[in-house]
Structure formats: C-alpha cells, structure tokens
Structure 1
Amino acid sequence: MAFLTHLLACIFGTGAWVAINGLWVELPLIVNDLPEGWYLPSYLTILIQMANIGPLFVTIMHKVKPGWLKEIIVIYTILILGIIALFLLAFFWKETTWIAGQLHSTGFLILTFFLSVVDCTSSVTFLPFMMQLQPKYITTYFIGEGLSGLIPGLLSLIQGVGMIKCVNVTQNENETLAWLNATDDYHIVTQYLPANFSVQIFLFLLSIMMVFCLVAFFFLTRQSQKDSSSTSLLQSMVTLNSYSTNDLSCNTGPSDQSKSTEDIIHNSETSSDNKVNYSWGHYVLIYFLTGWVNALTNGVLPSIQTYSCMPYGNLAYHLSAALGSMANPLACLIAMFLPSRSLMFLVLLSVVGTGFGAYNMMTAVMSPCPILQNSHWGIVLIVISWVLFIGTLSYVKVMIGIILRSKSHSALVWCGAAVQLGSMIGALVMFPLVNVYGFFRSADLCNMSCPR
C-alpha cells in the first residue's frame, strides 16, 4: 500500500508543470508555424507572469478567509481545466486572428494563458494538499514534479525537436540573365528537419499525462481520508487509555503516565519529521532562498539556455536539456536517502549552484563565440554545468519543502507564494534584456565565424 501511495504521489507531482514545460520544449517546432516566430517565447513569459493571478487569489483567500477555499476543490478545478485546455490546444494552436493590423496566434495564446494559470496555481495548492499525507510522500511528490520537466523533454528528443541540417543554397544575382551563365551566389542556410510526430500528437500526450494526474489525485484524496480516520481512531484510543489509567490509579490529579492526546500526537510527528525549532530570522532566510533559487531556475537561466548551449552545437543543447531534466528527480532521490536540514549546508549548496548558473550566464553573454567553443571540453563543461546547476538547486528546493512541511500548512502555502514571486521577478528581469535590448546574440550553427 505504501508503494502504491508513493506511485500516486509521483504521478500527481508530474501534473504540476507538465503543460508549460511541454510547451517550452516544443517551441522549436511551434514557432515555425505561428506568426510571432521567435518572439513567441517572450509572449509565453508574459502570459506565465499574468497567470500568477491564480496563486495570488488563492494566497489572499487563505489569508483573509482561512478554510473558505477548499484545496481539494481548487485542485480538481485546475486539473480539469488543464486537461480541457490541452485537448483544445491540440486542435486550435494554429488558429490566428488579425488584431490591430497584425496577425496573432490567438488560439495558442489564449489557451496557453489558461494552462499557465493551472501550473502557477499548482504551486500553492499541490504542496499543502500533500501535507495531509504522511511526510515520507512529499519527497516522492518532488520527484514527480521533476518528471514534469523530464518526460516532455524525453518526448521532444524522440520527436526530434530542433534537429537541423546545413544546406547549400544557390541564388542567381540576376535571374533574367541566368541563361547567360550569370554569377551564382552560394550561401549556407539552416533548415529544421521534419519531426517524427506532429505537435498535435505531442499535445495529446501531455493531456493524457494530466488525466493520469487527475486519477492519481482522486485516489490520493481517498488515502488522505483514510489517514485522517486512522488519526481520529488513534486519538480515541489514546484518550480511552488515559481515562483507564486514571481510574486504575485512583488519581484525581494529573498523571505522569497519561499525557494529553495533543502531546502524544505532537511528539509522534516530531520524532518522525525530525522537527527543528527555527527563529523568525531563519524562516526569513528560508523564504529568501526559496525565492532566489526559483528565480534562477524558473526565470533567469531558462531564458538564456539557448544562448548558452547552442554555440557549442545541437548535441550540447539537447544533452543539457535532457540531462538537466533528469537531474531534478535525481536530486529528489538523493534528498530522500541523504536529507540535510542544516541551513548552513543549504546556503552553501545554493552558492555552489549559483556559481554554476554564473558560468552558464557567462557563456550566454559571450554568445555566439563563448570560451572553448571549438573544443570537446567546451561541450563537456557546459553540459556538466547545466546538470549541476539544476541538480544542486533542486536539492535545496526539496529540502526547503520538507522543512516547511514540518512547520505548518500555512508555511507551505507561503512557500508556494515565494516560488511564484521569485519566478516572476527572474522572468521580468530577463525579459527586457533578451527581448527589448537584445543583450544576447543567437548563434547560427551553419554560419558562425568565430576565431579558432
């Protein structure tokens, strides 16, 4: 039964960000058919930040009217909304409309906004719900959340997203004089290879994953109800035992052998969760780390991954994306078997992860000609740097979740709010640098002229 619950928690976690992660890895195919082209990622970033209205509403309601907004109802609502939006997106993602004299992909943008609301709201609802289950299942949930990026990434690799070839193209300077053997202009262009299956099939697969998440959540709610019933039965047995002990000893005063139910339950949870008493300063540090780590992993670095990896070749980009996605669930497994609640260790690990992120940022700034570009060591270093960046900071995120889970339900809600705030700040900082000021330069693998 425990294994089944672990499996359900993992499947439930995959629904957290599978929709948006799937759209990000599918962008190299989508942009070729939509009028926004490569400006589409900037639109996607803005839509995700606008979708923070979902977690903001949940957080405010939790503060103003605690208990009024039931998490189970909210989760059911957003999961069903996600399934419907993905299903419709598979049919209408190419639909366009003329707005203010320009053609826009309204079908894709509108449905993507609803998917963003679903995924953003999951940050402040999924974790608090997991608190209703035993603490050992929360790490499994984080593994599933990591798989929400890994599985779409693997699907995109199978699909062949972004695979290119360099083709020689000949153009006559003057086509009217072609019969006179006019001078030919030879140049190389980058062409994307056709995918192994369509965008529509990819979106259907994502919707199926959301269906699995909904089914897993249904069974997890039943399991949480059983756990609540078991807890109530335990409280009744402890209370009955307390009264029996008092009667047998004929003691009218407080008995050392008969602790209150709350104390026994509290001590049991404390021993199982290894609770540590933190000061308010410690909690400020924990929430700061939460915002900082998520700003880097969800906002800053994803915006420049193509600039960081593509100059080293298509293989480096795909390895960084795929292995980086694998690093997330691997870090969750390590946290399960080798947990560390030391704040000093988590701060140190955050600094190390930030260092790897700084290296990735440096290569992006130097694009299209970063260091060690024409060396195999350059490929090895950039892939390792991205994997360790994601792995170290994922471990920090998991341990922060475990620490706050042992505090209270409210702590996890505010943890989700810190996740979204950090992600929003990171994205808003990078948006003008990438899309407005053109601070980063893309690399054309077929037409790069860098010194060797």
Structure 2
Amino acid sequence: MTLFVHMLACAFGLGSWVAVNGLWVELPLIVNTLPEGWELPSYLTVIIQLANLGPLLVTLVHKLCPRHLKEQVVIYSILSIGILSCILLVFFWDKTMIVAGTSHSIAFFIITFFLSLVDCTSSVTFLPFMMLLPAKYVTTYFIGEGLSGFLPGVVALAQGVGFTKCVNFSQTAGNYTSQNMWSLHTEHLPPNFSTEVFFFFLAAMMCISLAAFFALNRLPRTFELSTKTLVPDMVVSVSSGLDNPGLEIDREEAGVAQSNPMLANPKHSVYHLTFIYLMVVWVNTATNGLLPSVQTYSCMPYGNLAYHLSTALSSVANPVACTIAMFLQNRSLVFLGVLTTLGTVFGSYNMAMAAMSPCPLLIGSVVGQMIIVSSWVFFTGTLSYVKVMVGVILRDRSHSALVWCGAAAQMGSLVGSITMFPLVNIQQLFKSGDFCNTECPL
C-alpha cells in the first residue's frame, strides 16, 4: 500500500509543469511553422507571466473566503483544463489569424495561456493537498514534479528534431525567358514523430496526473494520517517549472519560527538577506525572462539541431541540478554568489551570441554548436541549484521569508519578460537569419 501511494504521489506531481516544459522543448519544431518565427519565445515568456493571475486569484480567495474554496475542486478543474488544452493544441496549434494586417498564432497563444494558468496555479494548490499526507509522500511528489521537466526533454530528444539540409531551388527569371535562377533553400527533415503526437503525450501525462489525484483523494482519511505526521512548512516554488526538493524543517526550528518568525535564524544580517533576495530577483530575471526570450537567436544560427539540444538538455539539467541539491547542499552565501556569477557568465555568452545573430562566433563549426549547447545547459543547471539552496536557506528562517522569496522570484521573472518583449518584437534588436543563405564574414 505504501509503494502504491508513492507511485500515486509521483504521478500526481507529473501534472504540475509538464505542459509548459513540453512547449519549451517543442519550440525547435514550432518556430519553423508559426509566423512569429524566432520571436515566438519572447511571446511565451510574457504569456506565462500573465498566467500568474491564477495563483493570485486562488490566494485572494483563500484570504478573503477561506472556507469557500477547496483545493480538491480547484485541482480537478485545472487538470481538466490542462487535458482539454493539450488536446486542443493537437488540432489548432498551427492555425493562424490575420490581426492588423499580419498573420499571428492567436489560437496557440490562447491555449498556451490556459496551459500556463494550469501550471502556475498548481504551485499553490498541489502542495497544500499533499500536506495532508505524511512527509515521505511529499518528497515523492517533488520527484514527480522534477520528472515533469525531465520527461518532456527525453521525449523531445527521442523525437529527433533539428536535422536540416540545404537544397538547390530553381526559379524561372521573367515571363519571356527560360533561364533558371538557382538558390539554396533550407529544408527541415521530418522528426521521428510529429508535433501532434508530442502534444498527445502531454495530454496523456495530464490524464495520468488527474487519475493519480482521483486515487489519492479517494484514500481513506485514516490512512497513516494524524496531526503528528502532517508536513510542516515546506520550501515554496522559486522557479517556473520545478519546485525545490521537499525537505522538512526541524521541529525545534519550526517552533522557534512560529513564536518569533524574524528571529528564527538570526545568523543572517540585514545585508545577508538583502544579498539573498537580490540573488533571487536576478536569477529569476535571467532564467525566466531575459534569456528564454532570445534562445532562438543564440542557437538557431548554429542550426536547428543546436537549438533542439539546448532546449531539451536544459530542461533535463533543471531537475538534475535540483536532485543534486537534495544530497549535496552548500548554504555558503559566498559559494552561492560564485555560482550565480558563473551562471551569469554562461548567460552573458548566450546573450552575446543572440546579439551577434545571425553571425555569432564559430558559426558553421561543430565546436561552436558544442559550446552554445553546453553554455545553455550549465546556465540552467548552475542557477537552478542556486534557486534550490536559496529556498532552503529562507525556509529555515521563517514562513514570511519564503513568502517574500516567492514575491521576489515573480518580480524578477516579470521584469525580465517585460524588458525583453519590446526589445525583441518592437525595436527588433535581434536579427534572424537563414541557415543556408546567411553569409557571415570569416
């Protein structure tokens, strides 16, 4: 019975961020079809931030009418919306509409908003429900939440996206001559399975999560439940797509935190706390706003394969880094500062390559492809570890510290996405190119 509940908790966690993570790793295929092209990621970052309206409304209802909103009802609703949205993606993801004389992917944007609404709202509904179970099952839930980022990346790698070839394309010049004009045309080779199949996979993951929640909700309330086994304060989510591992607070520290929250861990001075919150703001600004908006511009000049590997492996690096943080914890602010600096260096390289698009460094070489993919993986991995450890540090301080951590994370994400959107879509500071026809100076 215990193993069965562990499996249910893990399967339930799959539905937390699998949809949004799946969209990101599928972008190498989608950007070649939708009219927004390389600008598409900048649209998605803004849409995901707007979807934070969901958890805000849930939080307000809990505060104003605490007895009128049950987590179970909300969870059933959002998982059902997630399944329906994934199914709608299968049929409408590539449909476009003319807006102000320009073709736009309105259907894709609307469905993406609802998927983001589901995943963002899961952060404030799934964990409160899991806290009804003993702590060992909550830890398993976080493993499932990590798999929500890992599995889409693995499936995208199996999809085989990214292979292109340059073919000669002939075009007749003029109406009264038979002379042909030859030019190179980029042809994208078909993947092992289509985008529609991938979206069906996302829908299946959401169905598994819904079925697991239904089973968990039907467990007898006497099953290993007592007020002594309920989980105390947990680490809140500080990143979109992956929460921190569910480590318990020592009961003595929890008692101190409840009696005097601001003195629960007095070893951190005001300057230390300021540094910690600045790290939270900057890390989330970079990982959730600035860099995702220009990932196409930094990777696509090296070919669709480089873009595909960077998105898929970065999605895998996130849960791997969080798993490492479960077993190898280093709370030194100096170490975290150095790691943040290192992640910023990788991010700066990625941004620089995006700014140099369509002619970044080492374009056309295998070395250039390896460097840009590795840079994206290490950028995601290092800063994901920082997110986890900052959450652990603030968890041990007080509940209010975690609340401010979440607020700082959301503020950083919002600032990053809003900053990049006009630069990419209005000012057009970043230039796209054609893999086969772009001529770059040696």
In structure 2, give the amino acid aligned to 1:266.
Answer: R
Helix, strand or coil at the partner of 1:230: coil
1:315 aligns with 2:308: no
**Contact 1:190 / 1:444 at 8 angstroms: preserved in 2?**
yes
Q: CA deviation at 1:363?
A: 1.6
1:345–1:83 CA distance, 2 compared to 1 (3 A): same
Q: CA deviation at 1:442?
A: 2.2
Helix, strand or coil at the partner of 1:86: helix
**Contact 2:290 / 2:417 at 8 angstroms: preserved in 1?**
yes
Render the CA deviation track for 1:29-53: whole Å, top value 9, x for unaligned.
4455555555544443332232221
1:91 aligns with 2:91: yes
Distance 1:363 1:34 in 2: 23
How does the TM-score come out when normalised to structure 2?
A: 0.80
Residue in 1 that maps onto 2:194: 198
Distance 1:403 1:221 in 2: 32
Distance 1:412 1:28 in 2: 35
Distance 2:3 2:273 in 1: 33
Residue in 1 that maps onto 2:75: 75
Residue in 2 that maps onto 1:432: 422
Distance 1:114 1:340 in 2: 37
1:424–1:382 CA distance, 2 compared to 1 (3 A): same
- Which segments of 5 or more consecutive residues in structure 1 lack a partner in the other structure? 235-264
Q: CA deviation at 1:206?
A: 0.3
Residue in 2 that maps onto 1:156: 156
Taking the TM superposition and a 5 Å limit, the aligned residue runs for 1:28-427 are 28-31=28-31, 34=34, 39-62=39-62, 69-96=69-96, 104-127=104-127, 129=129, 141-178=141-178, 182=179, 184-218=180-214, 229-232=225-228, 266-267=251-252, 276-277=265-266, 279=268, 281=270, 282-406=272-396, 412=402, 414-427=404-417
1:164–1:375 CA distance, 2 compared to 1 (3 A): closer
1:431–1:103 CA distance, 2 compared to 1 (3 A): closer
**Contact 1:143 / 1:332 at 8 angstroms: preserved in 2?**
no
Root-mean-square deviation (Å):
3.5
Q: CA deviation at 1:201?
A: 2.0
- Which segments of 5 or more consecutive residues in structure 2 lack a partner in the other structure? 231-249, 257-263
Helix, strand or coil at the partner of 1:177: coil
Distance 2:133 2:396 in 1: 12
Render the CA deviation track for 1:333-365: whole Å, top value 9, x for unaligned.
211211223333323322221121112111221
Q: CA deviation at 1:366?
A: 1.8
In structure 1, give the amino acid aligned to 2:435.
Answer: L
Distance 2:367 2:430 in 1: 23
Distance 2:309 2:424 in 1: 23
Helix, strand or coil at the partner of 2:316: helix
**Contact 2:164 / 2:187 at 8 angstroms: preserved in 1?**
yes
Helix, strand or coil at the partner of 2:176: helix
Q: CA deviation at 1:296?
A: 1.2
1:126–1:399 CA distance, 2 compared to 1 (3 A): farther
**Contact 1:140 / 1:332 at 8 angstroms: preserved in 2?**
no
1:223–1:135 CA distance, 2 compared to 1 (3 A): same
Distance 1:189 1:203 in 2: 29
**Contact 1:123 / 1:419 at 8 angstroms: preserved in 2?**
no
**Contact 1:143 / 1:328 at 8 angstroms: preserved in 2?**
no
Helix, strand or coil at the partner of 1:157: helix
Helix, strand or coil at the partner of 1:315: helix
Q: CA deviation at 1:403?
A: 3.6
Q: CA deviation at 1:393?
A: 0.9
1:376–1:101 CA distance, 2 compared to 1 (3 A): closer
Q: CA deviation at 1:297?
A: 1.2
1:109–1:172 CA distance, 2 compared to 1 (3 A): same
**Contact 1:123 / 1:417 at 8 angstroms: preserved in 2?**
no
1:418–1:363 CA distance, 2 compared to 1 (3 A): same
In structure 1, give the amino acid aligned to 2:56.
Answer: L
How does the TM-score come out when normalised to structure 1?
A: 0.78
Q: 194-203 or 31-40, which moves further after superposition?
A: 31-40
In structure 1, give the amino acid aligned to 2:326.
Answer: M
**Contact 2:52 / 2:117 at 8 angstroms: preserved in 1?**
yes
Q: CA deviation at 1:78?
A: 1.8
Aligned length: 415
1:134–1:422 CA distance, 2 compared to 1 (3 A): farther
Distance 1:278 1:215 in 2: 45
Q: CA deviation at 1:8?
A: 4.5
1:322–1:43 CA distance, 2 compared to 1 (3 A): closer
In structure 1, give the amino acid aligned to 2:192.
Answer: N
Distance 1:49 1:22 in 2: 17
